[in-house]
Structure 1
Amino acid sequence: MDKIQTWLYDILNAIIEIESFIEDTERSFGRYQDDLRTRRAVERNIEIIGEALSKILKLNSNIAISNSR
């Protein structure tokens, strides 16, 4: 598996984790703001997504990922 596929896999796993953190809860911003653990977990996964996107674009700037910045 090449580096880009690995990073895409990391992005997919981060998205799946985010969905799992919020699937059994009321989906409201107020609830999210009040839940420090969920907020930190979601924020960390967003960081993972951002880091992976950054690595992908540095390795191959010809890859078009809309709204990546």
Structure 2
Amino acid sequence: MTSVEQKKLLTDILQAIHSIDEHLEGRRIFDEYRSNKTKRRAVERELEIIGEAINRLLKLDSNINISHSRLIVDLRNKVIHAYDNVNDIVIWNVIMKYVPLLEVEVKTLLVQQ
């Protein structure tokens, strides 16, 4: 069972995922992403939000069923603290591989309450 705080954090993650899609304008074209600094920064900000929300969720329940949670939190830390060393290919891989799975898992957790 999820608490009110967990539900808020899961909702924040879901909203950030939807915002990533808005920033990418519904398209998954790496060259568009890579060539648009504003788009990259907007997506990175959403990943920061997702990473922070997952970090807080893990503090509330270290057994929460979110795959790759540590990877996403670590990415958040890198984007914030090593902003000058962010690799667009790594970010893109997260968008393509981990974010869709995260969306499914978050929706499942929200339904389970």
TM-score normalised by structure 2 residue count: 0.55
User: What is the letter of the counterpart of residue 63 of structure 2?
Assistant: N
Higher relative contact order (CA 8 A, sep 6+): 1
Say if 2:23 is the partner of 1:21: yes
Which segments of 5 or more consecutive residues in structure 1 lack a partner in the other structure? none
The number of residue pairs the alignment matches comes to: 68
> RMSD over aligned Cα, in angstroms?
1.6
Provide the rounded CA distance (Å) in 1 between the counterparts of 2:69 and 2:36: 27
Q: Give the 5 Å matches for 1:28-47.
A: 28-47=29-48
Match of 1:6 in 2: 8
Provide the rounded CA distance (Å) in 1 between the counterparts of 2:46 and 2:64: 22
More helix by share: 2
Provide the rounded CA distance (Å) in 1 between the counterparts of 2:38 and 2:58: 30
Q: Could you tell me how far 1:28 is from its partner in structure 2?
A: 2.3
Percent of matched pairs sharing the same residue? 49
Deviations 1:24-55 (A, max 9, x none): 55x32222111011100000000100000010
Q: Could you tell me how far 1:65 is from its partner in structure 2?
A: 1.3
Q: 1:24 to 1:68 in 2, by over 3 A?
A: closer
Which segments of 5 or more consecutive residues in structure 2 lack a partner in the other structure? 71-113
Which 4+ runs in 1 deviate beyond 2 A? none
